[in-house]
Amino acid sequence: MWRYLAEAGAVFAKDMRTELRTRVAFNALGLFAITTLAAVSYTIGPYRIAEADRPYLLSALLWIVIFFAAMAGLDRSFVKEEDSHTAALLRLSARPLVVWGGKLLFNVVVLDLLMVILVPLYVVLMGFEVRSITGLVWILLAGGYTLAVTTTIVAAIIARASSRGALFSVLSLPLLLPLLIFVIQGTRAVAEGSAGGVISALRAVISLGGVMTLVSIVLFPAVWNE
Amino acid sequence: MSSRRPFAEILKWILFVWIGVIIWAAFFYAPAAAGFKGQSSRIVFFHVPVAWVATLAFLVSCVASIRYLKTRSVADDIRAEVASSLGLLFAVLATVTGSIFARIMWGSYWNWDPRETSITFLLLIYAAYFALRAAVADPERRASLAAVYSILAFVTVPFLVFVVPRIYWSLHPDTIINAQAKIKMGSHMFEVLMGSLVGFSGLFVWLYTVACRIETIRRRRQQEVL
């Protein structure tokens, strides 16, 4: 187990080093999120939504910004291996599950970094009232993980496809729609201060994340060795 | 062809008569349910079976995909593709029949009810499956990547069919398997519904076997041309 974690950590560290060299994923996710936030904040702002609609609409907008930003860069982890012809070498030097673990860790860290910057900005610019910060943190962590685990396996699939184009968004978004419903429901419950709503949404998100993790562990070798 | 498969021919005629009897029974044997506008409740005898067949088809696609990843047999890839296309067709039929019912009962073809939302997501997921198939040129790689995506897609089905409609308040009438595990349906209606489920499942089996044979011939021809 420790050996597996150390090897996955090495893949993660390699990805982080190459990412810091080029900053393609960081720039894509960060700029997309900030630009979308600026557009949403400018066109809607904190006062154009009726008080009763605020928890639901602001929760939905927050997750739409996060989801579309994720679509802009989370496929990089696998696509860059194919583009730079390093995938074959990685296949020789690491077991499939080690690669999957390292790439998943990379996507989770990138997404969490994005949320650390984006969410406070969103709260300030949109006047989003959060009644339970702990609840919001749990929803963001669980939602972020499930988003990362789903996009990691889809990124592995599209990296092996001949024409990638918009395929990452086309394949990821439908699979992520149930998650989008659960996290919006959970964030709305956070804004309304409903602990029951947060727990119910967290259960659904964690279940989906757990199932996606197990299925990815079983299926990833078939995609990676193809 | 018919002389070589007499048993299949007999089954086909039994199915034809069975479906005919079900159509007659849906209009003349089962009474219209109380609490619904006019004769609108009779659509249940067609809407529920097509929704059931769509789910069954997606299950068959998932099972065939798992088998493909184990055996790498082209026949399993054909089974998965055909089952997904039939699932998509029956999901469209479920959406259309549901929309007709929604127009009569609630005055609008589309209300973004949780069940309408779930079926839309399912349509998008399986449309993405075909987008993936179209994006991969190599037949073997196409088959294995599509198999992985089909399994991932089926993982979301329980969340869309069972979890999402129970998280949101729904206009949709109680399902046959409801939260109280009680059948709220008259005996004549229940008999016709069960008969219809059997009939539509038989129709799916017939369409599935015919479509698998056609697809096998099409691929063989394609190989001969190449």
**Tens digits of per-residue pLDDT, B30-40?**
887 777 778 88
User: Distance of CA A195 to CAs A21, A58, A134, B187, Å?
Assistant: 43, 18, 11, 43
B29 DSSP 8-state letter: T
Q: Is the pLDDT of residue A155 over 60?
A: yes
Q: Which residues contact residue A196 at a Cβ distance below 8 angstroms, ignoring those fewer than 6 apart?
A: A189
Kindly determine whether residue B135 and residue A173, on different chains, have CB atoms separated by under 8 Å: no
Average pLDDT in chain B: 86
Number of domains into which chain A is organized? 1
CB contact set of A100 (below 8 Å; sequence gap of 6+): A152, A153, A156, A216, A217, A220, A224
| Containing structural domain, residue A132 | 2-224
Cβ pair A161:B159 closer than 8 A = no
Question: Per-domain residue ranges for chain B?
Answer: 45-170+188-225
Contact B28, B195 (CB under 8 A): no
pLDDT band for position A26 (cuts 50, 70, 90): confident
Using CA atoms, how far apart are residues A92 and A29, in angstroms rounded to an integer?
30
Let me know: does A187 contact A59? Beta carbons within 8 Å.
yes
B190 CA: distance to closest CA in chain A (Å)? 32
| Span A158-210, pLDDT tens digits | 988 876 667 888 899 889 998 998 999 999 999 998 888 899 999 999 999 99
Read off the pLDDT band of B1 (50, 70, 90).
very low
Residue B136 identity? V
DSSP B183-219: --S-HHHHHHHHHHHHHHHHHHHHHHHHHHHHHHHHH
pLDDT at B168: 65
User: What distance in Å separates the CA atoms of residue A33 and residue A48, rounded to the nearest whole number?
Assistant: 21
The answer to whether residue A20 scores a pLDDT higher than 60 is: yes
Note the Cα A156 to chain centre separation in Å.
Answer: 15
Q: Which of A174, A212, A222 sits opposite B155 (nearest CB)?
A: A212
Rounded distance between C-alpha atoms, residue B209 and residue B82, angstroms: 9
Per the listing, tokens 């894509």 go with: A28
Pairwise CB contact (< 8 Å): B144 & A170 = no
**Minimal Cα–Cα distance from B160 to chain A, Å?**
7
| Token couple for A206 | 């964690």
Tokens of B12: 């086909």
Residues of chain A with C-beta less than 8 angstroms from the C-beta of B151: 215, 219
Instruction: Give the closest-approach CA distance of B142 to chain A in angstroms.
Output: 8
How far is B204 from B83, CA to CA, in rounded Å? 9
Q: B145 and A167 in contact by Cβ < 8 A?
A: no
Q: Pick from A157, A182, A215: which is nearest to B145 by CB?
A: A157
Matching residue, tokens 């897609």: B153
pLDDT in tens, B154-163: 998 888 877 7
Cβ contact (<8 Å) for B155 and A164?
A: no
How far apart CA B226 and CA B222 sit, in angstroms, is 6
Residues A154 and B145: beta-carbon distance below 8 Å: no
Q: Burial level of A225, CB count in 10 A (0-12/13-18/19+)? A: exposed
Q: Give the residue-averaged pLDDT of B131-144.
A: 91
Residue B182: predicted pLDDT: 58
Can you tell me the distance from the alpha carbon of A35 to that of B63, in angstroms, rounded to the nearest whole number? 43
The residue length of chain B stands at 226
Contact by Cβ (8 Å): A102, A15: yes
Ramachandran area for residue B35 (φ above 0: left; ψ -120 to 50: alpha; else beta): left
- Confidence grade of residue B171 (pLDDT, cut at 50, 70, 90): low
Q: What is the spatial distance between Cα B47 and Cα B49, in angstroms, rounded to a whole number? A: 6
